[in-house]
Structure formats: C-alpha cells, structure tokens
Structure 1
Amino acid sequence: MDTLRKIELEKFNNRIALEMGMKIVELASQRNQKIAVEVCRVNHTVFLFVDDTLPADKHNWLRRKANVAKHFEESSLSVKNDLAQGSMTLETTFALDTTHYLAKGGAIPLFVKNAGMIGVITVSGLKDTEDHQLIIDALQGVFF
C-alpha cells in the first residue's frame, strides 16, 4: 500500500481536474467499485461524481476528508497514520471539529511545482485505504 502524501504536478487546470476525475470513475467502474469522487481547487469543486447506489451523506465524507488534506497539506491517510502513531486526535491535539474534519484515507492534496497546494482529490465509498489507493492506481503514470 502506497502512503503517498501528496501529488505534485507540472500544471493544473479545470480540464486536468475533469480528466483526473474521469480516470478514477473509469477505473472504479472496471473494478465494479461504487465510489464518490471530487476534485477541488482550494475554494471550489471542479469535478464531482457520486454513484447512484451510495447514500446522500457521501458529500459530507468527501468534504470532511478533503478538509483534513487541506489543513495538513498531506493525504488524509498519512494524517490518520500520524495521529495513530502519536496517540493524537483531531479534536484534542488540533482542536478540529470532527463534524468538519475526518482523518480517514481517501483525500490527497494536489500541488503544482514551485506554486504550492492548489487543490485536493478525494474518493469515498470503499475502505479508506482502498479509497486512497484507487486515486494512486488511476492517476500514477498518467498525471504524476
């Protein structure tokens, strides 16, 4: 399992966000996985897909995982693992409200070289480690 902390790109725009989202949806479909995926710039959504079979609260899971990746500027899976290894929690250690933050795998921040963090890509619907790995499997070798 790859614990990738961030994805670094040469460039990023809305077309790239669309292509990333579609790659993830296509791979999940090939694997018969039911997922939700969101690709966001820092302040707005560029791509959003939620499989028809998923509950309406998946938007909330996407938002909460993405908030962790934005706040810490590393993948939500890395944050989850760091919290567990350090016997820390989002609430007590960082004063983050768990109604807005969720340290489960599935959100990876997007960086542009020499520019910093520009967005987050998030998947939900599988086990959190599988959400994280789906992003990597779909995008590695194509976008990074």
Structure 2
Amino acid sequence: MHKIILTEFSNRIALEMGLRIIELAQERHQRIAVEVSRLNHSVFLYVDDHLAAEKIHWLKRKANLTRLFEESSLQCRLDCEARGMSLQQRFGLDNQEYALKGGAIPIFVENAGMVGTVAVSGLTDVEDHQIIVDALADVLN
C-alpha cells in the first residue's frame, strides 16, 4: 500500500486509524510514535512513553516527504535508491525537513485528492510502513 484512498476522511476517522495502529503495536510489543494529519495539521499524535520526544521530528520529516510527492515515503526511498541519489542530490531538499525513510503514507479522498498523511516512527523504516498497512487493512476493507 503506497496510498490510502477513502470515500471520506474526518478527524474521527483519523482517531480510529491512530488508535488501531497503536493497538497493533501493543499486541506486537512494539514501541512507536504515530501521527495522523488532516489538511496539513495534526489531528492525532502519540509517542510511546519509552521513546525519545525527537520521534515527533521524524514523523514530521517523513510526512513532509509524503506531502511533497503524494506517495509513501518508503516508495520515495526506493525510487531514490534505484537511481543512486539522495534527496539533496535529486531534488535539493534539506535533510532537516525531509526524511528519506519509510513510515509515512498519504491519505486521499476519491474525487478530492490528497487530504492527509499517516506516519509511524520507532521501528525500522520498512516495519514503520508495514505496521500502517497491517493495522489499516481491516479498517479500510
């Protein structure tokens, strides 16, 4: 899953997404940080007690990349790796504002376009991406 496509998206749906991701992480004994944004503002933010507060910065940097390219941050990383280039080399982007790591997925509403992002940090970047996919698979179907 590189994009989440919904018929509608609200703060309540963002809350349900965030809670489901945390629930799955707890079932797996994983410690994560999660942010779900809607219309470029955070509507759900959680950082596990055992994680450093700087995880918030990682969430923002991953989400910034996803907002810019309207694609998952993992897909962006894979695309850059395939070309052997960094964000700085390819696009002139600042590493302080953008993270070329998996863990953020864009949220689209049919016939409206991209309306938000969901981001996770705390695991490997592939695991950050996958927990979003796993947690939301049953919510979105």
TM-score by length of structure 1 reads 0.96
What SS does structure 2 have at the residue aligned with 1:46? strand
Aligned to 1:143: 140
* TM-superposition CA deviations, 1:14-59 (whole Å, max 9, x none): 0000000000000000100000000001321000000000011101
Do residues 126 (structure 1) and 123 (structure 2) align? Answer: yes
Q: Which is richer in helix?
A: 2
Report SS of the residue matched to 2:140.
Answer: coil
Structure-2-length-normalised TM-score = 0.98
Cα distance in 1, alignment partners of residues 35 and 106 from structure 2:
12
Whether 1:52 and 2:36 are equivalent positions in the alignment is: no
Which residue of structure 1 aligns with residue 67 of structure 2? 70
Identity rate of aligned residues, in percent? 57
Aligned length: 141
Paired residues for 1:32-47 under 5 Å: 32-47=29-44
Ranges in structure 1 where 5+ consecutive residues have no aligned partner:
none
Which residue of the partner structure matches residue 18 of structure 1? 15
